[in-house]
Structure formats: structure tokens, C-alpha cells
């Protein structure tokens, strides 16, 4: 049996989600992938995650510089974890938390909340992309 591609793995994961969250995650997936063709997707840390798939300067893999965000799905909320989010200068205030390891998060209640915050989310992702060391 052939191994599933990263996209097929994400699709399989989404198809197993409860109906109440599947539409929101599918919308989020299409939104993020539509921002830049160099954004890829995969299942990492047992959740859908997004990363920069273009050329980058060499770095220690433990720095997670390639990882854009990981979805952390909870009942009643969706948390997007940005492993290197502290590098982004977020003027909107959408990024939450100040962790010593540089993580920042964005939390959504549902699809309507995501749509209300999508311009700020786009801004954070575009700024993160601009900071990549190519």
C-alpha cells in the first residue's frame, strides 16, 4: 500500500473530525494554503500543521524555523500555535501568550470567529513569511 502524501494525510484527518469542527478546519486549511504557494501542510504533533516549504538558510531543526503553525483542536475552541510567533510584531493583538520558548497562539471559537479575525491572521502569516531567512 502506497504511503499517503502530506495533503492526503491532512484530508484523512479532516474527514475523521466531528461535523461541528470539520467545516471550520477545512476553511482554515484553504485560507492558509491560499496565502502563499510556499506554504505546505502536514500532520505533525498529531494535528494539521503548516510550514514553509521553500528554500531556507541552514538551521538547527530544534529551532522549528520552518514550522508556521500547528492546529490544537479542543471542544469549543481552535487554537493555532505559532512555534516562533514571538518574532512577529503583531499590531492587531490577535497573538496571545508570551512564552519563553517563543510560542504565541491565536484562539477561535468557531467559523464565524475565524472569519471575523481572518484579516489579522493573514497579516500575522504574511509577516512571519517575510521574516524567513532564505
Report the pLDDT value the prediction gives residue 22, as an integer from 0 to 100. Answer: 93
Set out the domains of the chain in order of their start, with CATH numbers.
6-130 (3.90.1150.200)
- The pLDDT mean for the chain works out to 92
Q: Residue 12 pLDDT more than 90? A: yes
Average pLDDT of span 18-23: 89
CA 2/CA 4 separation, integer angstroms: 6
Amino acid at each position: 500500500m502506497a504511503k499517503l502524501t502530506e495533503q492526503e494525510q491532512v484530508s484523512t484527518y479532516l474527514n475523521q473530525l466531528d461535523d461541528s469542527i470539520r467545516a471550520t478546519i477545512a476553511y482554515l486549511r484553504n485560507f492558509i494554503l491560499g496565502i502563499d504557494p510556499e506554504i505546505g501542510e502536514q500532520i505533525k504533533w498529531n494535528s494539521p500543521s503548516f510550514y514553509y516549504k521553500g528554500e531556507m538558510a541552514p538551521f538547527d531543526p530544534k529551532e522549528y524555523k520552518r514550522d508556521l503553525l500547528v492546529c490544537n483542536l479542543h471542544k469549543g475552541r481552535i487554537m493555532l500555535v505559532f512555534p516562533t510567533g514571538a518574532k512577529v510584531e503583531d499590531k492587531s493583538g490577535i497573538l496571545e501568550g508570551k512564552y519563553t520558548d517563543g510560542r504565541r497562539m491565536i484562539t477561535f471559537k468557531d467559523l464565524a470567529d475565524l472569519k471575523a479575525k481572518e484579516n489579522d491572521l493573514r497579516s500575522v502569516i504574511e509577516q512571519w513569511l517575510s521574516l524567513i531567512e532564505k
